[in-house]
Every structure is written in C-alpha cells, then in structure tokens.
C-alpha cells in the first residue's frame, strides 16, 4: 500500500471541503454586489439576468441536454435552487444590510441536516451537531448585534430562500446518478433563468437599462457568484455528507459581513467579530479528523459522519473528474 506524505494526506482530506467552500464564499459576495451596485426596482429581471447567462455558459461547456427523468427533475431543482430562490435572495439583498442578509442564510445547516436525514437517511453525527450549534451561536451574535432597524419582509425573504435552497440541494444529492455536476447545474440554471425571464416580462415589463458598472456587476454575479459558486457547491454535496457541507455554508455570512465592512462601509461590532470567529471554528470542527483516502469521494466524511447512501444516490467514481476541482 502506498505511503502518503503528510502534505498529500492533508490535500486529500481538505480537497472537497475547499472546493465546497468556494460556493458559500461566492454566494456571500453576491449580497454586497447586489446591495450596492445593482438596481433594486426590478428583482425579477435582476434574478433572470443572474441565472440565465450563467446557465447558458455552463450548457455550452457541458454540451448535453436533459434526458429521461432529468427533464422533470431539472424543472423541480431549477425552481427550488434557482428560480424562486434567486428572486427571494435579490429581495433580501436589497432590503437588508449585506451582513444580515448573508447571516440569515446560515441557518441552512439545520435545514440541510434535517432534509438530509429525511430524504437521504444521513443521520447528523455529534461532530456536525456541535459544529452547527457553534456556528449558529456565531450567527446569532452577527445578526443580533447588527446596527439599525431590520426590514421584516427582507428577513422573511431570506429565511424562505434558505429553506427552499436547502431542500433543493438535498434533492440534488438524492438524484445523483453519475451525471456530471457541471451538467446538472447548467440544466437547473437554464430552467430557473427561463422561469424568471417569463415572470419578469409579465410582471415588470421591459428589462431595465443598465449602466456599464451595473453590467459588470451582473457579469460578476452571474459567472462567479452563480456559475462557479453552484458548480463547486454541488460538487461538495456529491463528495461530502450533506450536514458537513451545510456547516461549510456558514462561510456565506462571514463573507457577506467581511465584504459589507470592507466594501460597503458597514459597521462591524466586537460581538460580530466574535461571531465570525465562532463560524470559522465550526467549519474547522466539522472537517477536523476527516480521513484522507486516495481516490475516494470522501462520502464517509469525518468520524462516522454518514450512513452508506442508498444505491440510487451512489456516484460512479469515473465522474469525479467532471466536477469542479
């Protein structure tokens, strides 16, 4: 049996957590860009411009259309993960400070762990539960000590988007059948983008005219905070237990708060700084001690993280190279 160097073992242990982390970091950056650089009067058009170009770009790369059950699965997942989700996130990002909008989404570890238990039979381990509790405490410090009044509709939109995306992410994991992550992500973005395009045309009329700054901001939101973010996020769900990925998702509020302070002029209080520290500690905790198995998808996660998946959610090892690495 080949003996691995410490550096190689560390890379194999952290590879998929690092890939998954790109998702919430990209998502967290979306809040400050949307809040400060994008028009707020047309949330449906804003969501459509975010989703559809990203889906078209990924579809041109994947060069594969849905087949069999993936026609209706793409509609379900595209609606949950992209269509309704993007519209709610856009509203939340316009009505709330970037730090608060991102922080509310960090309730997702609880929602993801619960959905995974019900739909995937992945029972959350003590490590995941403790990490979620530590991260949740950090989020309470971030949100509970935010300065200024908070918009109730913005909070409702943020919580609803978190719940929908958590169910959609777990269903994406449940329906794994070896189809490359990039391909499945492309289908969802195209479906969600088309739904938003029709809704925007019917509800908001003609698309808004965009300045050069707004066009560049939309390009970033679509290609980086959406296309790249979702490919890496879904790659994490394919190779790691859902509960562990949910905790990694706590990097979303950390990114939102940090960018809100650095780029948006928002105020960071001492309790919020402590909250960021707790969130980062929770992410480190859930990935501590993860075994390094060369060639493995690391589906076992940490110490007894997840029960073996049912046959229909296993993924052929040959498809590992098609994910975001």
Does residue 302 have a pLDDT over 60? no
Residue with tokens 């969802």, as numbered in its chain: 188
Would you say the pTM of this structure is higher than 0.75?
Answer: no
| Residue 175 to residue 114: CA distance in whole angstroms | 17
Q: Check whether 324 has a pLDDT greater than 50.
A: no
CB 258 within 8 A of CB 322: no
* Token pair listed for 285: 């905790």
> Is the confidence at residue 119, as pLDDT, over 90?
no
Straight-line distance from the first to the last Cα atom of the chain, in angstroms, rounded to the nearest whole number: 25
Could you report the per-residue pLDDT of 267-276, keeping only the tens digit for each? 777 887 888 7
Predicted confidence (pLDDT) at residue 318 exceeds the cutoff of 50: no
Tell me what pLDDT residue 192 has: 95
Enumerate residues 6+ apart whose C-beta is below 8 A from 278.
134, 135, 137, 138, 141
Percent of the chain with pLDDT over 70: 81
* Distance, CA of 181 to CA of 200 (rounded, Å): 28
More confident residue, 106 or 251: 251
Residue 98: the pLDDT is: 65
Residue among 4, 41, 47 at smallest CA distance from 221: 47
Tokens 């309704």 correspond to 84
Name the pLDDT band for 9 (thresholds 50, 70, 90). confident
Show me where the domains of the chain are located.
8-309
Computed over every residue of the chain, the mean pLDDT equals 79
Q: Residue 103: its pLDDT value, please?
A: 65
Lowest mean pLDDT segment, chosen from 107-111, 141-145, 278-282: 141-145
Cα separation, 183 vs 86, in Å, equals 19
The confidence score (pLDDT) of residue 196 equals 94
Alpha-carbon distances, residue 216 vs 190, 222, 228 (angstroms): 21, 10, 16
CA nearest to 250, candidates 112, 154, 152:
112
């Amino acid at each position: 049996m080949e003996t691995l160097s410490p550096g190689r073992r560390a890379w194999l242990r952290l590879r998929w957590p690092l890939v998954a982390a790109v998702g919430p970091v990209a998502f967290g950056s979306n809040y400050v860009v949307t809040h400060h650089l994008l028009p707020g009067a047309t949330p449906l058009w804003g969501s459509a411009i975010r989703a559809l170009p990203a889906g078209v770009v990924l579809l041109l790369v994947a060069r594969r259309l849905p087949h069999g059950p993936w026609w209706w699965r793409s509609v379900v997942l595209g609606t949950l993960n992209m269509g309704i989700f993007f519209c709610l996130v856009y509203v939340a990002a316009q009505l709330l400070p970037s730090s608060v909008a991102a922080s509310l989404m960090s309730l997702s570890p609880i929602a993801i762990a619960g959905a995974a238990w019900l739909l995937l039979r992945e029972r959350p381990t003590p490590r995941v539960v403790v990490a979620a509790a530590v991260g949740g405490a950090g989020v309470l410090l971030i949100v509970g000590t935010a300065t200024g009044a908070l918009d109730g509709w913005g909070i409702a939109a943020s919580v609803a988007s978190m719940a929908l995306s958590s169910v959609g992410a777990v269903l994406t994991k449940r329906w794994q059948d070896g189809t490359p992550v990039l391909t499945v992500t492309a289908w969802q973005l195209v479906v969600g983008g088309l739904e938003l395009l029709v809704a925007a045309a019917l509800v908001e009329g003609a698309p808004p005219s965009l300045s050069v700054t707004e066009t560049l901001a939309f390009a970033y939101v679509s290609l980086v905070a959406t296309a790249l973010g979702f490919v890496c996020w879904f790659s994490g769900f394919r190779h790691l237990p859902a509960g562990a990925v949910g905790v990694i998702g706590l990097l979303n509020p950390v990114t939102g708060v940090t960018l809100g302070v650095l780029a948006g002029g928002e105020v960071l209080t001492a309790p919020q700084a402590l909250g960021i520290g707790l969130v980062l500690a929770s992410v480190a905790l859930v990935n501590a001690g993860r075994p390094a198995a060369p060639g493995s998808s690391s589906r076992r996660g940490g110490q007894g993280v997840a029960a073996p998946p049912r046959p229909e959610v296993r993924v052929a090892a040959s498809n590992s190279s098609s994910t975001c690495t």
